[in-house]
Chains A and B, each alone.
Chain A
């Protein structure tokens, strides 16, 4: 009688572990794909018509522009001067076709965006894109 009780308690654990391990492996595999540091505080403007980007150029330099107009690259705050230095160095190393992605908050005043655009323009890099949130998936 005592033994039967113990067996009954043990049974569901093995299948539970199977499921839990399966979930863990799934999350480990899918989590390691995303390597970019994304500035979560930025709320992009909505684009209703343009399809979402499937694959972006791995050389892309992403410049985040906050609501208050401050710029950062991978959460590192950038003064216009520092930005200029980085972009010039990029052009010298990778040529002027390195894509630049401006992730500007939708509420940012255009004056602040244009300041960053001016710096990018001066550096000689010409492939500039503005990021927007694509509707749907």
Chain B
């Protein structure tokens, strides 16, 4: 009588341990493969279009010109820090930032991070028309 009772209890316990094994395996798999949500910013740029004649008509007479070199940044040909550029541009863009066009000439020797930094600061003061052209040097 005592033997029979013990057998029933054992049968009820058996599937649990293997199920826990599987469940833990799944849990560890999902924890390991779960990655941080990458928060990306997308900086829209305008590329030079092949039909130049049409483009020149659209552009306002004097675009803001920023030159990105490997080790420095220039505004209208004068070397200055990025903070200074923001100071210089802010009063100009205050009224209608959407209408102003920025020409960003980038040296082929510059790094992408240099360009992204300039694009980022242009966007921070509200400039959205960012034309990126390559500087032949």
Contacts and interface: CB of A to CB of B under 8 A. Distances in A.
Interface of A: 6, 10, 13, 16-17, 20-21, 23-24, 27-28, 30-31, 34, 38, 44-53, 56, 65, 101, 104-111, 113-114, 117, 120-122, 126-134, 136-137
Interface string B77-113: 0000000000000000000000000000011111111
B41 A51 contact: yes
B42 A130 contact: yes
B50 interface: yes
Interface of B: 9, 13, 16, 19-20, 23-24, 26-27, 30-31, 33-35, 37-50, 68, 106-117, 119-121, 123-124, 132, 134
B115 A130 contact: yes
B45 A129 contact: yes
A117 B132 contact: yes
A120 B46 CA distance: 11
A53 B47 contact: no
Nearest to B111: A107
B43 A28 contact: no
A31 B112 contact: no
A113 B47 CA distance: 12
A81 B119 CA distance: 28
Contact of A121 (B23, B48, B115, B119): B48
Contact of A27 (B34, B38, B106, B117): B34
Contacts of A65: 112
A131 B16 CA distance: 49
A121 B120 contact: no
A47 B26 CA distance: 37
Contact of A20 (B24, B45, B111): B24
A42 B6 CA distance: 61
Contact of A133 (B41, B114, B119): B41
B45 A128 contact: yes
Contacts of A30: 34
A17 B120 contact: no
- Interface pairs A-B: 4 shortest CB-CB: A27-B30, A49-B124, A106-B113, A45-B113
5 contacts: A31-B34, A109-B110, A110-B134, A130-B42, A132-B42
Contacts of A129: 42-45
Give the one of A27, A110, A137 with max B CB within 10 A: A110
Contact of A106 (B35, B112, B132): B112
Given A47-B123, A133-B40, 18 more contacts: A13-B16, A47-B119, A49-B123, A53-B42, A65-B112, A110-B68, A110-B109, A110-B111, A120-B47, A127-B44, A128-B45, A129-B44, A130-B116, A130-B119, A132-B42, A134-B39, A137-B37, A137-B39
